[in-house]
Amino acid sequence: MAALVRTVSRLTRRNMGWTRGVASLADLPETHNMLRKTCRDFADNELKPIAGDLDKEHRFPTEQIKMMGELGLMAIDVPDSQGGTGLDYLAYAVALEEISRGCASSGCIMSVNNSLFLGPVKNWSTELQRETFMHQDFLNGRKVGCFALSEPGNGSDAGAASTVARLEGNHWVLNGTKAWITNSYEASATVVFATTDKGLKHKGISAFLVPMPSEGLMLGKKEDKLGIRATSTAYLIFEDCKIPRENLLGQPGMGFKIAMETLDAGRIGIAAQGLGIAQAALELAVDYAMKREAFGSPIAKLQSVQNKLADMHLSVESARLLTWKAAAYKDGGKNYIKEAAMAKLAASEAATFCAHQCIQVLGGMGYVTDMPAERYYRDARITEIYEGTSEVQRLVIAGRLLKEHADLTSW
Amino acid sequence: MWPIFDYGRFVSIISSSDVYGVVWMRSLAQLHKMANLRVLVGVKRVIDYAVKIRVKPDNSGVVTDGVKHSMNPFCEIAMEEAVRLKEKKLAKEIIAVSCGPAQAQETIRTALAMGADRGIHVEVTGKSIDGDNNQTGQMTAALLDWPQATFASEVTKENDHLKVVREIDGGLETVKVTLPAVITADLRLNEPRYATLPNIMKAKKKKIAKHKAADFGVDLTPTLEVVGVEDPPVRQAGQKVESTEELVAKLKDSGVV
C-alpha cells in the first residue's frame, strides 16, 4: 500500500509540470503570437511567391536567408549575450512552422543552421571555437553551417562511422566520406563526426569543427532530389583534411552523444517543418474545395471531401500540440526525447498525409505545377526520412516507454 | 494632455515638446528643436483587413466577437514613418497611444516591437472599430490648433519645417507645415517593416502607462447614436453594349446625357 502511494505521488509529481503546461499550450504567449505574425507575414510576402521558382531552378534563397537572419530567425535560441535572438524552443517551433508554410526548403535551411549546426556549437564549443564558428555571420543569415553525420555506408546506423580522424602533431587529419549533407554547397563550416578510436565502437566517435572550404575537403555532385530542391545536398569527401587540434568539439569519444542530443532537438525543428507543409496543404485544399464547383455546388459541401479535410485538420492539430509540448518540455529542462520523437513522427506523417489528400481534393489540378500541391507532396516526403527515419522514431518512443514502465514497476 | 476621442483611419501625429528659449543661436536651436521632436502615434486595434465584415442580424453594428483583430494597417504605416524619423535622428522619442479595451495593449506592444519607445493605453470600454470616418487627424489638429497635412505620401524635413506631399483626388499636392503638426498617413507613405524577433523581445521591457478617460477629465458620454448599420446595396448587374452608338443611345434614353 505504501509502495502504491509512493508510486502514485511519483507519477503525479512527474506529470504536474505537464498538467500546468498543457492549458498554456492551447494558446501561445503574447510574444510567440507576435513572432508568429512576423514570420507568417514574411513567409506570405517573401517566400510564398518565389517558392515555386526556387524549386524549379534548384536555387538557394540567399537574399531571403539574409532577411531571415535580420529578423533573428537563423539563431533563435542562441543567447542574446552571444549575439543570438535569445528565445526558446517553442518560439523556434512556431517560427519554423510559419517559414515552412511559405517555403519548405527555406525552413530546412533555417532548421539545419539553428538545430544541427548552432546547436552543437552553442552547447559544446570553447570560447576560442565560438569566435570562428559562432561568429555573427552564422547568426545573421550571411553564413550557414551544416552537419555531417550520415555516410554512404550508414545512416540510421550512426554508431558505425567509418570516417576516421587521427592525431598528427598539432592537427587532426580526417579521412572518409559523408553523405546527404544539407547546405553543403553554401555552408561556411560543418560539424563532422569521425571515429578516433575504433576499439571503443560508438564511444570512439568524436566531433570536429571544420571550416568550409578547407584543403582536403571536397564536395560531391549536388543530388537531384524529389523535393526541398532549393537546398543543396551532396557528399563531403575528406582526403587527408587537416584541421587544427583545437577544432575538436567537446572531448574525444563524445561525438555520438553530441550527435544524438543534437538530433533530439533537431526533431522538434523537423516536426515544425512538417507542420508548415501540412498546414499549407490543408489551407490549399480548403480554399480549392470552397471554390471548385461540381454537381451544382462547391465540392466543400460533399461529405467525401469534408471527411478528408477533417482528417487533415485533425492530423495537423494533433501533431502541433505534440510539437509544442516537446518544445515546452525542452524549454522547461525536462527530458523531452520521447516527446520530440513523437512530434517528429506525427508531424512528418501528417505532412505526407495532408499533401497526399490535398492532391486528391484538387484532382487533376493537384497533379500539375500550376498549383503548389505537387510541390507540397514532394517536399513532405523527406520529413519522414531525415533526422531519424520514422522507424527509428518508433524505436526511440518504444525504448523510452519501456524504460518508464520498468522504472514504474521497480518498487 | 490630449482630449480623447474615437480614432479613425489616419492616425499619425507629430508633436514637439521642449521649446528652446535661447533664440540667438537660431539655426542651432531650430536643429536642436527638430532633433528633440517627440512623435505621438495613435495605433488602433481593428478587425483584420483581410476578414469579411458581417453586419449583425439586428443591424446594430458589425460582428466583432471571435473575429480576428489586428493593428490598423495605416497605423502600421504611421509607426513605420515615426521609426524612420527616429533613425534619421529627426525624432528623439516615439510614443504609441491607443484608446480601447484591454486587448489594445497587444496593439501597443506590436508598436513597441516596431520601434516605439513607450506606450500609453487609455482604457475605453465598449465596442469600437474603424469607421473609416477620416476625422481623427483633422479633429486633433483643430482641437490643438496645429497645422495638418493629411493623406501624406512623403514626409521630408526642410530646415525648421516639414514638407509633406499629399495624395489628393487630382494628383499630388505639396504643403509646408511648421512644427508641431498633425500628419496622417496614406498607403504609399512607406512599407512597414517586420517586427524582428529581437525587437519583440525588447518590447517586453518597454513601459505602457495605463489611464482611464476620467483621468483627463474627459466625458465619454456619446453625443452620437448609431441608429442602424446595413450592408451596402447589392450592385446591380451592368449592361453590355456592342457599339459606341448604342452606348450613347442608352445613356440618352435614361436621361443621363
Q: What is the pLDDT of residues B35-49, one digit of tens each?
A: 678 999 999 998 888
Q: Name the residue in chain B with its Cα closest to that of A79.
A: B198
| pLDDT, tens only, A350-378 | 999 999 999 999 999 999 999 999 999 99
Q: What is the pLDDT, as a whole number, of residue A14?
A: 44
B163 and B97 Cβ atoms separated by less than 8 Å:
no
The confidence score (pLDDT) of residue B223 equals 84
Residues of A in contact with B198 (CB under 8 A): 72, 80, 85-86
CA distance A397 to A336: 11
pTM of whole model > 0.80? yes
The answer on pLDDT for B166 being more than 90 is yes
Q: Which residue has the cell 531571403?
A: A64
Nearest to B200 among A35, A42, A70 (CB): A35
Distance CA A181, CA A165 (A): 19
Chain B residues within an 8 Å CB radius of A73: 197
Q: Is the CB of residue B136 less than 8 Å away from at least one CB of chain A?
A: no
| Secondary structure tally for chain B: helices H, strands E | 6, 11
The residues in B 51-70 lying below 8 A from A, measured between CB atoms, are: 70
CB B115 within 8 A of CB B94: yes
Minimal C-alpha gap between A140 and chain B (Å): 12
Inter-chain residue contact B109 with A34, CB threshold 8 Å:
yes
Q: How many residues are present in chain A? A: 411
C-alpha cell at position A151:
555516410
From A45's Cα to the closest Cα of chain B, the distance in A is 11
The CA distance from B110 to B101, in Å, is 16
Please indicate if any CB of chain A lies within 8 Å of the CB of B198: yes
Q: Which residues of A touch B194 (CB under 8 A)?
A: 38, 41-42, 71
ipTM of the complex: 0.80
**From CA A382, how far away is CA A227, in angstroms rounded?**
7
B70 CB neighbours in chain A (<8 A) are 37
B-chain residues within 8 Å CB-CB of A80?
198, 201
Q: How many angstroms away from the CA of B106 is the closest CA of chain A?
A: 8
Distance CA A390, CA A185 (A): 27
Are residues A86 and B198, on separate chains, in Cβ contact within 8 Å? yes
Question: In DSSP terms, which residues pair with B99 in a beta bridge?
Answer: B122
Q: Which of A79, A83, A44 is nearest to A64 (CA)?
A: A44
Query: Between A and B, how many residue pairs show a Cβ–Cβ distance under 8 A?
Result: 45
Instruction: Using a CB–CB cutoff of 8 Å, tell me whether B200 touches chain A.
Output: yes
- Residue B207 C-alpha cell reads as 513601459
- What is the distance between the alpha carbons of residues A273 and A182, in angstroms, rounded to a whole number? 15
| Candidates A32, A38, A283, partner chain B, best to mutate (most B CBs within 10 A) | A38
Q: Give the integer Cα–Cα distance in Å for A386 and A344.
A: 10
Q: What is the spatial distance between Cα B93 and Cα A287, in angstroms, rounded to a whole number?
A: 44
Quick one: angle between helices A89-102 and A30-42, nearest 10? 20
Where chain A has pLDDT below 50, the residues are 9, 11-20, 411
**Higher-confidence residue: B243 or A410?**
B243
Residue A105 corresponds to which cell in the numbers above? Answer: 526548403
Out of A46, A339, A374, A387, pick the active-site residue.
Answer: A387
Q: Which residues of B41-53 are buried (b: 16+ CB within 10 A; e: fewer)?
A: bbbbbbbeeeeee
With 50 as the cut, is the pLDDT of residue B57 above it? Answer: yes
The answer to whether residues A87 and A35 touch, using CB atoms and an 8 Å cutoff, is yes
In this complex, the residue of A30, A35, A41 whose CB is nearest that of residue B197 is A35
Judge: B106–A85 Cβ closer than 8 Å, yes or no.
no
What pLDDT is stored for residue B67 in this prediction?
86
B196 vs A72, A80, A91: nearest CB: A72
Instruction: Look at residue B130 in the predicted model and tell me its pLDDT.
Output: 63
- Active-site residue, A246 included: no
CB–CB of A232/A59 below 8 Å?
A: no
Nearest to A72 among B106, B197, B204 (CB): B197
Alpha-carbon gap, residue A259 to A182, rounded angstroms? 16
Is the per-residue pLDDT at B231 higher than 80? yes
In this complex, which of A70, A71, A86 lies closest to B201 when CB atoms are compared?
A: A86
- Position A382 scores a pLDDT of 97
CB-CB under 8 Å, B197 with A30 = no
Q: Return the closest-CA partner of residue B150 out of B36, B39, B18, B8.
A: B8
The residues with which A249 forms a beta bridge, in sequence order, are: A207
The rounded percent of chain B whose pLDDT value lies above 90 is 44
Q: Please list every residue in chain A whose beta carbon sits closer than 8 Å to the beta carbon of residue B197.
A: 35, 38, 71-73, 76, 85, 87, 91, 95
B109 vs A contacts (CB less than 8 Å): 30, 34
Q: Is B112 on the interface with A (CB under 8 A)?
A: no
Q: What is the pLDDT of residue A179?
A: 96
Q: How far apart are CA B44 and CA B42, in angstroms?
A: 7
